[in-house]
Structure 1
Amino acid sequence: MIRNLTEWDKDDKGDAEDEYEALRRSLSWTEGFGLLFVDCTPATAEKLIDDVRKDLPQKRIEVLRLTEPIENLYTEIAALPNRDSIDILFIQGLEHSIYDYEKTIKDSTERRNYSLFSVPRLLGHLNLQRESFRDHFNICFVFLLPKFALTYFNRRAPDFYDWRSGMFKLENRGELALAELSQGEDKFWVNQGVQQYKAGDLVDAIVCWDKALDIAPDTHIAWFNRGVILSELGRFEEAIASYDKALQFKPDDHLAWSNRGLALSELGRFEEAIASYDKALQFKPDLYQAWDNRGFALCKLGRIQEAIISCNKALEIQPNYAKAFYNKAYYFALQNNIDLALENLQKAITLNPDEYREMTKTNSELDNLRQDPRFQALIQ
């Protein structure tokens, strides 16, 4: 199933699938050393790795997951016991090193001389060691990074980054809330944060919103925007805390409630997520994305019939919402109701054939439909 961040999400239908196909082809063709960069959140990264493993079984794939800041990536890879037998190495978590660097200098005197071209130790080492990567590792490296970290590579590790053989964007980015520029210094920092976000500097965006909150701690928009970014960084606990602060100052913010529900779902806290979606719907009953996402949380709790009802509410509001039909197909498949599963799957594919036909071909959640001739007809 797929889920949206907020009702502001852009409808770039098919773009992510096209990018994935281009990445898959590149990985299939690459033999030996290579550098690829992928713009994606941690949650999307996990799905990407699973998909590549399924689609390229002939490749020997490993994942280096970094959960703490590091200074030297080369030594981390050199220490891998099976490095000589790896075809593709996915690298996750380098953003921790960049965020730690920003956090260290944020309130220090060094911040006075801060430059967009100052270099964290991690990236400085990469600039110096690029030939060592090529000469010593017969591996295709795939860096899975959020947008702000890719911006760091572009600006502050150009010697290493310029060796990239491909850049792939698997993430649609939601919009942020804007403030009125004429309403004071705190609103200025809110808007500065939005500009940093649009430029891909997520950490600098948070710094700007923190400045706004230093001036006016009750700035609802800054708390809300921080929540969006923290979710994008995969820091869901912090995102929830930021949404809670936004809701403290604007209790009827339906988007904050809805986004909070998504963050809770990412943490597997589905009962709380449902309660958060219910609050969003209390203030905006026609928020069809919340009805659909609520269905996902109900499904994860095994409450399949309620999930279907929630999807139906989304479709009452937005009858051409293909994602809800697709999700309903999955729910009916879980009930082994093949006829209704196929009926809803057909509606999803009819409304958005490029996205849902391709997704259906590889979605293991629909495996119990796969032998039915009607299913085979749908994916042709």
Structure 2
Amino acid sequence: MTSEIIDWDADLPPATAEEEYESLLRTLKRTNGFRLLFVECVPAEGERLIAQVKADFPQKKIEILKLDESAYNFYNIIDNLPKRDEINILFVTGLEYSLYKYEQDKKELGWESKDIYSYSWRGVPPVLINLNQQRERFRDNFNICFVFILPSFAVDYLIQRAPDFFDWRSSLFKFSMDKELLQLESMQACTERWNLGDYIALTPEARKRELVRLQTLIDEDGQTPEQKAELFYEQALLYRFAEDYARAIASYDKALEFKPDLHEAWYNRGNALGNLGRLEEAIASYDKALEIKPDKHEAWYNLGIALRKLGRLEEAIASYDKALEFKPDQHKAWYNRGIALRNLGRLEEAIASYDKALEFKPDKDEAWYNRGYALGNLGRLEEAIASYDKALEFKPDLHAAFYNKACCYALHSQIDQAIQNLQQAIALNPDKYREMAKTDSDFDSIRFDTRFQALIEG
């Protein structure tokens, strides 16, 4: 004889959507008063299901409670509903936002990112504490059949974190989204690409709703690997523009598990790593993006930035050159190429690179300023002054340009102009330029001028 327990339902095929809906209808028909029902489905499916139930029960008072923001005292929310005693069936949507908000808050309390990302079961959200503690009061005071519409991750969360409430007089119904509809919803979520301004303009609540929407679609059965990759990628973008770079990297990694050749994920992963100062890892990520898409000029440019920050200047210049090979008018690449050349002491080449940057962006004050600095170091003082003047034309409060002009005039023994420009620099940043001027050898020719002494002594 076998001692194994036989699970008679193990070999039964899963219920179809029609069978599951009929089961839900039978339960609603038999229910007269308080009961808890849980429906696992994506929000779009939930909306269709609610409309269908309303059509099938025209004689019942059916209401919808949408929790668009985090809820804490759920009992009080129900208690304060208008005409509460007349409600027979109350559909509750959006409870998942409270669960997700709690997981987000744990980050601020120092939880490990792996626990937060995987919806760890440590701690209990306030809304679930309230549900567990108030369950008898729900039964005694509310003559309502509650139907919670929840995505799969939220159902799992309730099972783990509010078992007393979930198991108490409750039933669970699962509705998988039709595959064609699922693909349509997923494609819509991934093609609603916002520009940078739209991402930044999202309120924390709006961002949370988008993240929950994406997580719901990710967890849905029947997703293709390509679609999951796109959903994780979109999730990563939301984290990235919220400056939550660690989570963004985790989402990019998930996207790349499903679609290793998604070059945009490798590229943006590199950006996120760069923002965290993990430059070597960022370089490796850019390399992967370029391995897949060798003509991606943005990746070549950002690779150059990371290399320059690590002091690998020759490699940085080579990367800028590759970026310019594919996009010759990328003024930032010309400008940063000039910075790298200047740091290598190759001043003539640096000036030529600044000139190219200014050819494409004539109002770039930083290029005019650094061009002046390089010219000054070559002793071409009049050209340096002219370059500083152009920088000040576009940025009139650029105090460093006034100071360096003063140095050039002093080296040319043009005392009045030197004093005038030093005075401008000190007016804009007194502490810095008084201290610098005290020991700067460029001012040796005017050091004993009473006006100079008065300026540095304040």
TM-score (norm 1): 0.51
String of CA shifts for 1:176-209, please: whole Å, max 9, x gaps: 9x9xx99722111111111112223111111111
String of CA shifts for 1:293-352, please: whole Å, max 9, x gaps: 000111111100000001111111222222210110111122232222111111011112
Distance 2:406 2:124 in 1: 49
Q: Which runs of 5+ in 2 are unaligned?
A: 1-106, 126-194, 200-213, 218-225, 411-417, 428-458
String of CA shifts for 1:4-56, please: whole Å, max 9, x gaps: xxxxxxxxxxxxxxxxxxxxxxxxxxxxxxxxxxxxxxxxxxxxxxxxxxxxx
Q: How many residues align?
A: 220
1:236 pairs with 2:279: yes
Distance 1:306 1:259 in 2: 21
1:281 pairs with 2:313: no
1:188 pairs with 2:231: yes
- Which of the residues 295, 307, 311 maps onto 1:252? 295
Mapping for residues 317-356 of structure 1, pairs under 5 Å: 317-354=360-397, 356=398
User: CA shift at 1:282, angstroms?
Assistant: 0.3
Q: Mean alpha-carbon deviation: is it higher for 365-374 or for 193-202?
A: 365-374
Distance 1:316 1:116 in 2: 60
String of CA shifts for 1:31-82, please: whole Å, max 9, x gaps: xxxxxxxxxxxxxxxxxxxxxxxxxxxxxxxxxxxxxxxxxxxxxxxxxxxx
- Which of the residues 247, 272, 283 maps onto 1:204? 247
Structure 2 letter corresponding to 1:283: F
Distance 1:255 1:114 in 2: 41
Q: Are residues 326 and 102 of structure 1, via their aligned partners in 2, closer, same or farther at CA, if it must alter by over 3 Å? A: farther
Matching residue of 1:225:
268
Structure 2 letter corresponding to 1:290: A
Matching residue of 1:162:
none
Q: Are residues 106 and 221 of structure 1, via their aligned partners in 2, closer, same or farther at CA, if it must alter by over 3 Å? A: farther
- Which of the residues 255, 258, 275 maps onto 1:215? 258
Distance 1:114 1:230 in 2: 28
Q: Which runs of 5+ in 1 are unaligned?
A: 1-96, 118-173
Q: Are residues 375 and 207 of structure 1, via their aligned partners in 2, closer, same or farther at CA, if it must alter by over 3 Å? A: same
String of CA shifts for 1:105-136, please: whole Å, max 9, x gaps: 478xx65448999xxxxxxxxxxxxxxxxxxx
Distance 1:270 1:367 in 2: 31
- Which of the residues 344, 365, 382 maps onto 1:301? 344
Moved over 2 A (4+): 100-107, 110-117, 365-380
TM-score (norm 2): 0.43
Q: Are residues 195 and 339 of structure 1, via their aligned partners in 2, closer, same or farther at CA, if it must alter by over 3 Å? A: same
Q: Are residues 187 and 367 of structure 1, via their aligned partners in 2, closer, same or farther at CA, if it must alter by over 3 Å? A: farther
Matching residue of 2:6:
none
1:263 pairs with 2:345: no
Mapping for residues 38-49 of structure 1, pairs under 5 Å: none
Distance 1:202 1:233 in 2: 7
**How large is the Cα RMSD of the aligned pairs?**
3.5
String of CA shifts for 1:76-118, please: whole Å, max 9, x gaps: xxxxxxxxxxxxxxxxxxxxx99x96465478xx65448999x
User: CA shift at 1:369, angstroms?
Assistant: 3.6
Distance 1:116 1:232 in 2: 32
- Which of the residues 330, 335, 355 maps onto 1:312? 355
User: CA shift at 1:377, angstroms?
Assistant: 6.8
Q: Mean alpha-carbon deviation: is it higher for 194-203 or for 262-271?
A: 194-203
String of CA shifts for 1:207-226, please: whole Å, max 9, x gaps: 11111011111111111111
CA contact (8 A) 1:333 1:366 kept: no
Matching residue of 1:376:
422
The structure whose Rg is larger is 2
Structure 2 letter corresponding to 1:227: G
Q: Which secondary structure does the structure 2 equivalent of 1:286 belong to?
A: coil
Which has the bigger relative contact order, CA under 8 A and spacing at least 6? 1
Mapping for residues 68-217 of structure 1, pairs under 5 Å: 102=112, 105=115, 111-113=119-121, 184-217=227-260
